[in-house]
Structures are given as C-alpha cells and as structure tokens.
Amino acid sequence: MDAVKSLFPIGDLHIHTQDEVIAFSDYLNRRPEMLLILLGDIIHFANSFWSPNSAHMDKKDMKTALKNDYKLWEDFFPRLKKPTILYYGTHEMFVLETCPKLGWPLPKHPEKINKRIVVPSDCEEIKLPNNSYVAGVHVLANICPSDEPKFCERKEVVEQQLEKTLHNFSPKSPERTVFCTHDPTDFYYTNLGYRALTQLLKKFPFKIHYHAHIHSNLREHTVGVTHTINRSFQALRRFKSEALEPLPASLKTTDDTS
C-alpha cells in the first residue's frame, strides 16, 4: 500500500468538551487508514489557558481549571484504537513548557496511557512496514500578542531553537519519508511559519510534508521538490470537507478557535 494513502494526518481538533472527546475519538477509530498522525492542537485547553476568562483567573483558579482540561486529555488518548504518531502543537507545547515553570504537574504522557501511541523525539525516523518513514519535530509554542514586539522576539527564539534541532538532521531516505510538523514553513506564512522548515524542505526531497496550525486556508505549495499540505481539521472542514468524509454531523460545527 502507498505510504501516503495508508496514513491519516490531521491536526487542530481543538477539543473543548467531553462530547467532542467521544465524537473525535470515535471518528478517528472509524477511519479506514492504517495509521493516524496527529499534528498537534488536539486538546484546546479551553477551560484554562485558552478560556475567555483566563486573563481574570488567579493561579488557584487556573490550576483548578487545568484539571478539567487534563481530564479531556487523559480521556481522549486512551480511546484511540489505531496505531498513532503524535506531534505536539502550539497548545500542547505551551502547557508542557509553562506548567513546570509554575510548579504544576503535567498531564499523563500519551504513551503511558495508550500503548498504541508513539510521541517521537525530534527528528526520530519511524520505519513503517512498507519501507517508508515518518519523521518530524515538535515546534516550541510562540504565544504572544501579535501586535507587540514580544511576538517577533519569541518567534526568533523558536526559530533559533528549530534551526539548532534540524542542523544535523539527515534523513536516511528523504524520498520515502513523510515529514510532519504542527507549524508550516515560512514560504507563504511569513508570520506563522518558520524559515528553518523551509530550508529543510529545500535541502531534502521528502515524499511529502504535512502541517496544521493554519485554519484560514488550504494553500498547498511546493518547497524545493517537496509538496507541503495543510491538514488542519478546521481548514479542511471549511474548504475541503470531502477529505474528512465520512464526517459525522456532530463534528461539522465544532468550535473553530485558535
């Protein structure tokens, strides 16, 4: 079976509620593809860090609210019945970086609550039965108000870390490797993408590059010779819903929030 056709890459589920935990996990379990690749922003953390009221929460209230989001995380991942590769997105990376700084516990690691899930190390190459590979990186979160200089400062910090991570990456067989990230390249997305990813795709002829993060369009393009495709659930649902079929009615109108 062709490596790409046997995979279902998807990101930006932005799960808010227990009902969505059930709906999304049931949907993914029914997919005909052999392997799921989750591209981050799976849980939205809508009760805590991404709550409309987050700016008015004190630390005690935030920590209490976070437990509700952790419950969604720890209910969703064990429900997956297919082999799954998970790359973290902006929301997960923000939580994983912020909570230890506050002395708060982290949610249970997905690999520890479901043996079907693999959370690869950066640039780890996972060999598939058809002699192809999946590789990718977990990009640090860039969370700052977009109208402030801090946004650009943080983005450059993330950029430098990404360049360092990718510096020595030399895939065994790039033409047979599916490369995955939450964030896109900066080929089109100057503000939201990363030049290190653009440079990597120019350097190596990957079989394909999948990303998420962009909700507003499905601008597919080629960097070097690598085709890069947006697999954001939010964008696909708006602009190419046939790629998600059969999509249950309960998932056709979930919240679209970044």
> Can you give the pLDDT at residue 120?
98
197-217 tens-digit pLDDT: 999 999 999 999 999 999 999
Does residue 128 carry a pLDDT above 60?
Answer: yes
Distance CA 117, CA 89 (A): 16
> Can you give the pLDDT at residue 223?
95
- pTM as predicted: 0.95
Confidence of residue 129 (pLDDT cuts 50, 70, 90): confident
Give the mean model confidence (pLDDT) for residues 238-257: 85
Distance of CA 60 to the CA centre of its chain: 28
Amino acid of residue 238: R
147-161 tens-digit pLDDT: 567 878 888 999 999
Select from 19, 70, 78 the least CA-distant residue to 44. Answer: 70
Compute the C-alpha angle 106/108/112, nearest 5°. 145
Does residue 81 carry a pLDDT above 50?
Answer: yes
Does residue 4 carry a pLDDT above 90?
Answer: no
> Can you give the pLDDT at residue 233?
98
Give the mean model confidence (pLDDT) for residues 165-190: 95
> Can you give the pLDDT at residue 59?
92
Select from 186, 246, 253, 256 the least CA-distant residue to 221. Answer: 186
Confidence of residue 146 (pLDDT cuts 50, 70, 90): low
* 256 vs 33: which has the higher pLDDT: 33
DSSP state of 130: T
> Can you give the pLDDT at residue 1?
47
Domains of the chain: 7-251 (3.60.21)
Does residue 192 carry a pLDDT above 70?
Answer: yes
* 163 vs 144: which has the higher pLDDT: 163
Does residue 137 carry a pLDDT above 70?
Answer: yes
Tokens of 81: 């019945």
Q: Write out the DSSP string of 51-109.
A: STTGGG--HHHHHHHHHHHHHHHHHHHHH--S-EEE---HHHHHHHHHHHHHTPPPPPP
- State the average pLDDT for the chain: 93
